[in-house]
Amino acid sequence: MKMIIEIDDESYLKSYLSILSVGILECLEKNLISYDDAMSLLYFPGIIDKFEKMFPKLGKAIHLGTELEDVADLIPEKLKESIEQIKKLNEESIYLTENRKQHVFYKICD
């Protein structure tokens, strides 16, 4: 089974991904998911370049997200600060206004 997510507005896409990122960070903080889970959901290096070009703040947030496991292992006292920095970058990328709202289309395929 696979799910296809379709968002055809660039600003809305940036907001959607930022909201996803904040949710992933919340799950990490509550130990609901592992760093590997976070990497497979959004924080994987292969997509960083594209996001950094399209959405610089979001790209930086995702880039920092790929480094969270290293921060936790090497300098655990900085982990909370790193997560807060990523959240702040994401929050700056969330921009949903009444006149720009759009539906997100989900298609589930067998």
The total number of structural domains in the chain stands at 1
Q: What is residue 110's predicted lDDT score, i.e. its pLDDT?
A: 86
Domain region containing 87: 2-109
| Helix (H), strand (E) at residue 107 | strand 105-109
Look at residue 30 and give its three-state secondary structure. Answer: coil
CA atoms within 13 A on the CB side of 16: 15
User: What's the pLDDT score for residue 73?
Assistant: 95
**Per-residue model confidence (pLDDT) at position 95:** 86
Residues whose CB falls within 8 Å of the CB of residue 61, separated by 6 or more in sequence, listed in order: 18, 21, 86, 89, 90, 93
Question: Can you give the pLDDT of all 110 residues of the chain as single tens digits?
Answer: 999 999 888 888 999 999 999 999 999 999 999 999 999 999 988 888 998 999 999 999 999 999 999 999 999 999 999 999 999 999 999 988 776 667 789 999 98
pLDDT value, residue 24:
97
31: left (phi over 0), alpha (psi -120 to 50) or beta: left
